[in-house]
Amino acid sequence: MKIDFSGKSVIISGGGSGIGLAMSTAFHDAGAEVFILDAQPQNAIESTKNLKKVKVYSCDVSNQSRVLNVIAEIASTHSINVLVNNAGIAHIGTAVNTAESDFDKLMNVNVKGVYNCLHAVIPHMQKAGGGAILNTASIAGSLGLAERFAYSTTKGAVIAMTYSTAKDFLRDNIRCNCISPARIHTPFIDGYLAKNYPGREEEMFEKLSKTQPIGRMGKPDEVAALALFLCSDQAAFITGTDYSIDGGFVKLGGG
């Protein structure tokens, strides 16, 4: 089954690194014109320099006026077919040791950022006769994970926003789903291990990998492949669903 996005425009927040970069590459390689909203535009420009049909916008998704302006600029020349809300930040802490400033930051990026992009893009999709939206959530949004209080809170909100959006805009031919990855091997994981376990990176990487029943971490390309399918015409009968991509963590019992 060949998935073809030729002639379609895809907006991806946080599309310049990690899972977002894998998504940007996958949609580009499937023929789409990709527009990346990224708070670190220079890094995104560098990481996508070999992708011909990619344009990067400097955009903090927590800033609604900036999001509205960027989306309006894109929509002035392109019909927006797909929105991928992927931008997000992580945090480690409990309800006791999470600082208010950190909680607010996560809410602004992970929750308000998704709302801002939905708020800006959906009217354009309505005018165009439909579209596909994909939100990046996490298994942390539906499971109890230790010391992920603020992060889990925000990802639970993303799942709820997915269901609500799918319901509200069903008659506008707008589909909305979300994906919930478990541990995926991205530069964030490497940085986390280097910072917290210097000299023990290999040992801790193996330990974290084995928390997935399948015995390893996921790959960004594997997440991108699921994203590509869910936003494609082949998934036209799928909406209002949260897809775990977790090596069996949720159903088979990770730890």
Residue with tokens 């994970």: 145
Cα 57 from Cα 118, distance rounded (Å): 17
11 φ/ψ angles, rounded to the nearest 5 degrees: -105, 130
What sign does the CA torsion over 240, 245, 251, 255 have?
negative
Q: Are 117 and 37 in contact (CB under 8 A)?
A: yes
In the three-class reduction of DSSP (H, G, I as helix; E, B as strand; rest coil), residue 228 is classed as helix
197 assigned to active site: no
- From 151, 163, 197, 243, active-site residue: 151
Cα 187 from Cα 17, distance rounded (Å): 8
Cα 213 from Cα 246, distance rounded (Å): 9
Strand partners, 38: 58
Looking at the annotation, which residues are catalytic?
Answer: 151
